[in-house]
């Protein structure tokens, strides 16, 4: 038997044991046990949290929006220093809850837990945390939770790496009509500023037949839109026995009739092929949105970042994409203040922003991450210089983004209705193919449906529209 199938079966055995434990505990205290999952970081973490919630729902816990619950888990991110500090700050609040509820279980998982210095700090300063595990063994969550309850001891289970991919455990999706799908894990790029390869491990692609099977199962459950997830989806397929790459995988998924929309993230510019552009252009299901991290417009800084493309490469790629997909929305990530960045380097970044005209950009101040090559580089940039550049970049990004958004007023687009507007119950909120949000009058029965909406007004970075019959 396949070892991954055996492992899935094994975890379901622990799920069954936990069902009995939770049932008995609930009966003893006279109420249902509650849980809270807090997610930090990326879409892959969000997908992992759906698995955590699915398992907790299956064993009998009831989800609560309040962190003062019987079981609390933080699914952590460590891309930036402030993400770590947020977790430490909130652990202090959990400790006050636990003193009042000694049966409370506190767990930490995710990327932050893959750092030795973090584990040491938790042992020394936060020894009330009951369960700690990392990114590679999230599938062992039922077993680890059982061991915590059974032993009443702190459990720390961190793997340095793994080749295992264990899926088919319970999940609890936020939306019934759309879902994320993990197609690969890890990263081989080793950008000099990034800690992800050290905490997520080497690239591992799922077999295409397993991905297709999961998507078909989701479609039978009413899912219309899927988001293919990976640290670098463009390198999907490397290391597999099958003759498969990301473009070919997209083509196979495109043939699944009941799936109406296909999204993916994140793409590395160095691996985005002309074959992929052609597949995107020929499909009416692949959304007209591409997140294409730039990081810097300076070829010299890109080299120091170990990004493996130049400014000219990036601009040429954008030209090829827009030649085939004219109305595509391009979004990006940009880092300000990378070590050694001069004013001339920064001006190169502004130049790319002007030439590309991104719909939006996630702009970040460089965060030194211990253990990465950039952390020990000379010429670290002063805070006042970084702030000045960050403010100038943000102003330009917003200006260019508004111009891109304004161009769509007066046109009609397909919109996937996601929810009733949180501020105005007479409006529905939905997402266009290009990932923009639009609010419009409508009946909540339309949630989960794709409707035609005429764009009437641009409100900065969202639209007001009306359904078009």
What are the tens digits of pLDDT across the range 89-135?
899 999 999 999 988 999 999 999 998 889 999 999 999 999 999 98
pLDDT value of position 1 = 43
Which whole number is the average pLDDT over 146-156? Answer: 91
The percent of residues in the chain predicted with pLDDT above 90, rounded, is: 78
Find out whether 201 and 164 touch, Cβ atoms under 8 Å. Answer: no
Q: Give me the mean pLDDT over the 431-450 stretch.
A: 96
Mean pLDDT value of segment 228-240: 92
Q: Are 260 and 225 in contact (CB under 8 A)?
A: yes
Q: Are 451 and 442 in contact (CB under 8 A)?
A: yes
Q: Average pLDDT of 291-312? A: 97
pLDDT score at 200 = 83
Q: Are 439 and 421 in contact (CB under 8 A)?
A: yes
**Per-residue DSSP letter, 370:** T
pLDDT level of residue 3 (50, 70, 90 thresholds): low
β-pair type (427-432, 437-441): antiparallel
C-alpha span between 242 and 237 (Å, rounded): 8
Q: What tokens were used for 141?
A: 């969550």
Give how far Cα 245 sits from Cα of 89, 131, 259, 353, 404, Å.
Answer: 42, 38, 20, 30, 32
3-class state of residue 192 by DSSP: coil
The answer, yes or no, to whether residue 292 has pLDDT greater than 90, is yes
Q: For the ranges 9-23, 83-97, 263-277, which has the lowest average pLDDT?
A: 83-97
Does the pLDDT at position 319 exceed 90?
Answer: yes
Taking the C-alpha atoms of residue 199 and residue 253, their distance in angstroms, rounded to an integer, is 29
User: What is the C-alpha separation between 106 and 99, in angstroms, rounded?
Assistant: 12
- How crowded is residue 99: how many other Cβ atoms within 10 Å of its Cβ? 10
- pTM of this prediction? 0.88
Q: Which of 70-79, 144-153, 409-418 has the highest mean pLDDT?
A: 409-418
- Name which of 166-170, 339-343, 372-376, 384-388 the model is least confident about: 166-170
User: What are the backbone dihedrals phi and psi of residue 454, each rounded to the nearest 5 degrees, phi first?
Assistant: -90, 125
Percentage of the chain lying above the pLDDT 70 cut: 99
Confidence class of residue 312 from pLDDT cuts 50, 70 and 90?
very high
In this predicted structure, which of 51-60, 320-329, 372-381 has the lowest mean pLDDT? 372-381
Question: What's the pLDDT tens digit per position in 174-226?
Answer: 899 999 999 998 889 999 998 888 888 889 999 999 999 999 999 999 999 99
What's the rounded Cα separation, in Å, for the pair 341 and 305?
Answer: 11
């Amino acid at each position: 038997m396949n070892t991954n199938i055996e492992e899935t079966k094994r975890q379901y055995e622990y799920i069954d044991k936990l069902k009995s434990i939770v049932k008995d505990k609930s009966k003893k205290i006279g109420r249902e046990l509650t849980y809270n999952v807090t997610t930090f970081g990326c879409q892959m973490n969000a997908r992992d949290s759906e698995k955590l919630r699915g398992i907790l729902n299956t064993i009998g816990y009831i989800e609560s929006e309040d962190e003062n619950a019987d079981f609390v888990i933080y699914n952590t991110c460590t891309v930036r220093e402030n993400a770590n500090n947020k977790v430490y700050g909130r652990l202090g609040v959990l400790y006050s809850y636990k003193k009042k509820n000694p049966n409370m279980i506190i767990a930490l998982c995710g990327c932050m837990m893959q750092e030795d210095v973090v584990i040491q700090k938790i042992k020394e300063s936060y020894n009330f945390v009951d369960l700690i595990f990392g990114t590679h063994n999230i599938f062992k969550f039922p077993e680890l939770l059982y061991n915590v309850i059974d032993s009443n001891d702190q459990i720390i289970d961190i793997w340095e790496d793994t080749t295992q991919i264990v899926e088919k455990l319970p999940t609890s999706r936020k939306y019934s009509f759309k879902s994320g799908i993990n197609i690969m894990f890890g990263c081989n790029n080793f950008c000099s500023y990034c800690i992800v390869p050290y905490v997520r491990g080497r690239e591992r692609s799922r077999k295409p037949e397993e991905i297709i099977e999961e998507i078909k199962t989701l479609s039978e459950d009413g899912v219309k839109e899927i988001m293919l997830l990976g640290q670098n989806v463009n390198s999907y397929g490397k290391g597999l026995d099958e003759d498969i790459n990301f473009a070919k995988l997209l083509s196979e998924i495109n043939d699944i009739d009941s799936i109406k929309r296909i999204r993916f993230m994140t793409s590395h510019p160095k691996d985005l092929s002309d074959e992929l552009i052609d597949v995107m252009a020929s499909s009416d299901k692949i959304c007209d949105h591409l997140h294409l991290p730039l990081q810097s417009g300076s070829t010299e800084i890109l080299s120091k970042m170990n990004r493996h493309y130049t400014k000219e490469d990036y601009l040429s790629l954008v030209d090829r994409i827009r030649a085939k997909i004219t109305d595509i929305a391009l979004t990006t990530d940009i880092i300000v203040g990378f070590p050694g960045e001069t004013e001339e380097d920064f001006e190169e970044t502004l130049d790319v922003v002007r030439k590309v005209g991104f719909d939006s950009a996630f702009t970040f101040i460089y965060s030194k991450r211990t253990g990465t090559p950039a952390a020990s580089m000379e010429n670290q940039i002063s805070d006042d210089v970084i702030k000045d550049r960050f403010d100038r970049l943000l102003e330009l990004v917003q200006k260019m983004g508004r111009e891109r958004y304004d161009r769509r007023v007066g046109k009609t687009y397909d919109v996937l209705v996601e929810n009733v507007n949180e501020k105005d119950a007479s409006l529905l909120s939905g997402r266009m193919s290009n990932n923009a949000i639009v609010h419009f009058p409508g009946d909540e029965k339309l949630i989960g449906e794709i409707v035609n909406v005429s764009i009437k007004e641009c409100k900065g970075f969202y639209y007001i529209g009306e359904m078009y019959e």
